[in-house]
């Protein structure tokens, strides 16, 4: 028995030494990689810390040695055939695991169902082996499967796969970058085989003339033989010109929706890049795709970004933009034709476009999309009011009359603001109150906190009433709509007027009336509070006055200098234009111009002060009413003024009668 035990223990020790000698040595050049692998391997492979048994009877390595020593076999006496049993031995069996270096210990007094105790062994267990040689403990050597190597291999493979995935991602991105570089000159136009924009000609209102001209484009795309049979040629390009918000892009969507042909849409800024030649390449690619899908439509929005006039040469001209424009000119009407391709472009700055772009054969037709008139605004309001809950008492005709100069975008925004105010006030339908508030918000800005009754509020009231009274007394000025002391935007008070849009031309009397009315606020401050209490509230009015008076002298020929146009509207620095504008008159003429401007302004200022002095009593009454109510309607102002004039006329008649009686008595 003792020989068998020594053989088993020697075998365990020999295998352990052999396993330690066969550990691989990591090469130095892979040190960093090995360190990272070991760290990650330790995370996945490391044996979790065993829970420490808190039982006092738990065996440690030292206690195991003591227990094994207590199981030492006593010497065999000469007269006996068997050893004397050792009653102090508490261990019945020990199982040593060569792989994990753990000893499982079964106690003599434990039940069979109880698990053995585990004791961690050391690298060198010579003392334990020596004690086990002379003990009667059942010993068993067991070699369990060592999963650490497999887990280490899995961890290393995982790191390798992760490294390959990162490398593949980098290579793919680099290939995409090279692909993008190769596709840099490709057109970025959005293409639709049938442009389902959801917009038809019935959804576009207020610009009937433009719709009629563009209807021909749709008819040609659908029935080209109707024009070609009689030798007619449809325009190659249509340029939509108009202020912002008038519906140019909306018209293009309607054309695409009506025509049901392939549709390309792109912005002018998408052609130009910082690299020379890219824009021209994109133009070529766009027209190549269009020719493959002819007949088709090409819509270029904001064409002024690429179609500006060439040859400025200031600050180092942009050769890329000029090359792009040259390529666009060639594609539209060059050596090769582009039959079946109709180009529609939109801009709000036709004055900066190159003349070669506007000639017949390229953009043959210019469609003016201007701000709508009264009937147009009424139709636009009908379109935008379809999906809104409007109260029955709301009159769209009244709204159209009150909004001269509004574009289609302005009217859409107006109804949207009114709907927002209605929802904020928890009403079920939009009323005229929300419409009026929305108009004030769109024109002048958000409503501010009302002023308290103080000197500043009284001064602003006199200023605004001065504007209103002067405008009402002058026969050539637009009627007053309302006066308000409710701050909006930067203005502390506002006087609204209703301009007459039917008359496109402005007379000399109307210009003088506007200048006089603009000076009415300053005149009221001077007459009521004195020149020492004049405020900065008339700053914007004075800018308007100076501009109108100077235009009367230099552009409209409405002064003593005669019918001369001495200044233009200000030209751009393009073909033949210098960077510094050259004066079109001498220094002597400049002095005369300044003198005439001052004379016009001075005369209008005196007239405004005269009107304020003659109606001072009525102005005081109107100011008190305005301070109390904060808003007075223009119709109310005119009604009160008529009553005041009638009462004043009766007083004058009585005064004249008394004067005549006194003269007769004398």
CA-to-CA separations, 202 to 135, 265, 412, in angstroms, rounded: 108, 22, 16
Write out the catalytic residue numbers.
464
Residue intervals in the chain for CATH 3.40.50.300: 190-368
From the options 3.40.50.300, 1.10.600.10, 3.40.640.10, 1.20.58.760, give the CATH code of 455-567+586-650: 1.20.58.760
Rounded distance, CA 68 to CA 373, Å? 113
Strands ordered across the beta sheet of 91-97: 117-120, 102-107, 91-97, 138-142
Q: What is the pTM of this model?
A: 0.62
Asked if residues 469 and 488 have their Cβ atoms less than 8 Å apart, the reply is no
Rounded distance, CA 547 to CA 600, Å? 12
Rounded distance, CA 344 to CA 324, Å? 17
- Between 565 and 99, the more confident residue is 565
Residue intervals in the chain for CATH 3.30.720.210: 1-22+59-74+85-145
Section 627-645 average pLDDT: 86
Rounded distance, CA 503 to CA 501, Å? 5
1-10 pLDDT tens trace: 445 445 444 5
Asked if residues 407 and 246 have their Cβ atoms less than 8 Å apart, the reply is yes
Task: Give 428's Cβ-side CA count (13 Å radius).
Answer: 2
Q: Which range, of 100-104, 416-420, 486-490, averages the lowest pLDDT? A: 100-104
Q: Between β-strands 190-192 and 631-633, what pairing exists: parallel, antiparallel or unpaired?
A: unpaired
- Between 407 and 5, the more confident residue is 407
Q: CATH 2.60.40.60: does it fit domain 190-368?
A: no
Residue intervals in the chain for CATH 1.20.58.760: 455-567+586-650
DSSP 405: T
Q: What is the pLDDT of residue 595?
A: 93
Q: Is the pLDDT of residue 242 over 80?
A: yes
In percent, the amount of the chain with pLDDT more than 70 equals 70
- The length of the chain in residues reads 666
Rg (the chain; Cα; Å): 49
Section 623-629 average pLDDT: 89
Q: What is the pLDDT of residue 145?
A: 60
pLDDT confidence tier of residue 221, bands split at 50, 70 and 90: confident
**498 Cβ contact list (under 8 Å, min separation 6):** 401, 402, 404, 478, 479, 480, 481, 634
Omega within 30 of 0 (cis) for the link into 295: yes
pLDDT confidence tier of residue 318, bands split at 50, 70 and 90: low
22-79 pLDDT tens trace: 444 444 444 555 555 555 555 444 444 444 444 455 677 677 777 776 777 665 544 4
pLDDT confidence tier of residue 520, bands split at 50, 70 and 90: very high
Task: List the beta bridge partners of residue 368.
Answer: 241
pLDDT confidence tier of residue 337, bands split at 50, 70 and 90: low
Rounded distance, CA 294 to CA 221, Å? 10
Rounded distance, CA 520 to CA 523, Å? 5
pLDDT confidence tier of residue 190, bands split at 50, 70 and 90: low
Section 89-99 average pLDDT: 71
Q: What kind and span of H or E run contains 42?
A: helix 31-45
Rounded distance, CA 470 to CA 475, Å? 10
265-296 pLDDT tens trace: 887 777 766 555 677 788 888 888 888 887 78
Residue intervals in the chain for CATH 1.10.8.60: 374-444
Q: CATH 1.10.8.60: does it fit domain 374-444?
A: yes
pLDDT confidence tier of residue 123, bands split at 50, 70 and 90: low
| CA dihedral sign, ordered 371, 373, 376, 380 | positive
**What DSSP line would sit under 631-657, residue for residue?**
EEEHHHHHHHHHHHHHHHHHHHHHHHH
- Both tokens of 325, joined, read 């424009």
Q: Give buried/exposed letters for 209-242 (b at 16+ CB in 10 A, else e).
A: ebbebbebbbebbeeeeeeeeeeeebbbbbbbbb
- Both tokens of 74, joined, read 């006593």
Q: Is the pLDDT of residue 666 over 60?
A: no
434-489 pLDDT tens trace: 998 888 888 887 777 777 777 888 899 999 999 999 999 998 888 888 898 888 87
Averaged pLDDT score across all residues of the chain: 76
Asked if residues 370 and 247 have their Cβ atoms less than 8 Å apart, the reply is no
Q: What is the pLDDT of residue 78?
A: 43
Q: What is the pLDDT of residue 143?
A: 62
Section 346-368 average pLDDT: 86
Rounded distance, CA 543 to CA 548, Å? 9
Q: CATH 3.30.720.210: does it fit domain 1-22+59-74+85-145?
A: yes
Q: What is the pLDDT of residue 65?
A: 72
Q: What is the pLDDT of residue 47?
A: 43
């Amino acid at each position: 028995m003792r020989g068998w035990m020594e053989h088993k223990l020697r075998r365990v020790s020999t295998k352990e030494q052999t396993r330690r000698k066969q550990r691989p040595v990591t090469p130095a050049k892979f040190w960093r990689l090995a360190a990272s692998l070991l760290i990650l391997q330790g995370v996945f492979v490391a044996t979790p810390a065993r829970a420490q048994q808190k039982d006092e009877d738990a065996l440690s390595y030292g206690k195991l040695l003591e227990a094994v020593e207590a199981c030492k076999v006593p010497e065999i006496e000469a007269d006996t055939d068997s050893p004397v049993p050792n009653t102090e031995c508490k261990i019945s069996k020990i199982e040593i695991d060569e792989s994990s270096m753990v000893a499982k210990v079964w106690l003599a007094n434990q039940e069979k169902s109880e698990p053995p105790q585990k004791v961690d062994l050391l690298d060198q267990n010579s003392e334990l082996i020596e004690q086990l040689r002379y003990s009667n403990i059942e010993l068993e050597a067991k070699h369990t499967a060592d999963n650490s190597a497999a887990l280490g291999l899995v961890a290393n493979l995982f790191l390798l796969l992760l490294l390959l995935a990162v490398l593949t991602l980098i290579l793919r991105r680099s290939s995409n970058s090279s692909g993008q570089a190769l596709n840099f000159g490709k057109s970025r136009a959005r293409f639709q085989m049938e442009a389902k924009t959801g917009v038809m000609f019935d959804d576009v209102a207020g610009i009937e003339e433009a719709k009629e001209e563009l209807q021909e484009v749709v008819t040609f795309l659908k029935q080209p033989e109707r024009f070609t049979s009689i030798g007619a040629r449809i325009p190659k390009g249509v340029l939509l010109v108009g202020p912002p918000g008038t519906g140019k892009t909306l018209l293009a969507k309607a054309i695409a929706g009506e025509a049901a042909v392939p549709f390309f849409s792109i912005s002018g800024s998408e052609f130009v890049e910082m690299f020379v030649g890219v824009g021209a390449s994109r133009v070529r690619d766009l027209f190549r795709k269009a020719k493959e899908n002819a007949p088709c439509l090409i819509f270029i929005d904001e064409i002024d970004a690429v179609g500006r006039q060439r040859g400025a040469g200031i600050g180092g001209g942009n050769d890329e933009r000029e090359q792009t424009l040259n390529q666009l000119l060639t594609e539209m009407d060059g050596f090769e034709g582009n039959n079946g391709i109709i180009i529609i472009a939109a801009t709000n700055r036709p004055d900066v476009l190159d003349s070669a772009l506007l000639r017949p054969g390229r953009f043959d037709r210019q469609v003016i999309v201007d701000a709508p008139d009264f009937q147009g605004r009424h139709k636009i309001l009908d379109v935008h009011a379809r999906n809104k809950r409007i109260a029955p008492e709301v009159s769209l005709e009244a709204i159209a009359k009150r909004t001269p100069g509004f574009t289609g975008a302005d009217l859409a925004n107006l109804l949207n603001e009114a709907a927002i105010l209605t929802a904020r006030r928890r009403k079920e339908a939009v009323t005229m109150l929300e419409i009026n508030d929305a108009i004030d918000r769109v024109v002048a800005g958000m409503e501010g906190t009302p002023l308290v009754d103080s000197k500043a509020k009284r001064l602003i009231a006199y200023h605004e009433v001065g504007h209103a009274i002067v405008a009402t007394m002058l026969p050539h000025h637009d009627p007053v709509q309302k006066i308000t002391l409710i701050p909006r935007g930067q203005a502390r008070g506002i006087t609204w007027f209703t301009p007459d849009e039917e008359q496109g031309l402005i007379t000399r009397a109307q210009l003088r009336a506007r200048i006089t009315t603009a000076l009415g606020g300053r005149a009221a401050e001077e007459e009521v509070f004195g020149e020492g209490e004049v405020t900065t509230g008339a700053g914007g009015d004075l800018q308007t006055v100076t501009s109108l008076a100077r235009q009367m002298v230099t552009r409209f020929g409405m002064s003593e200098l005669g019918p001369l146009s001495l200044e233009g509207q200000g030209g751009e620095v393009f073909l033949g234009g210098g960077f510094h504008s050259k004066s079109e008159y001498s220094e002597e003429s400049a002095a005369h111009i300044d003198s005439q401007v001052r004379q016009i302004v001075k005369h209008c200022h005196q007239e405004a002060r005269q009107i304020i002095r003659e109606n001072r009593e009525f102005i005081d009454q109107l100011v008190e009413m305005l301070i109390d109510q904060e808003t007075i309607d223009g119709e109310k102002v005119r009604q009160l003024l008529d009553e005041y004039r009638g009462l004043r006329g009766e007083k004058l008649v009585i005064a004249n009668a008394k004067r005549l009686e006194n003269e007769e008595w004398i």
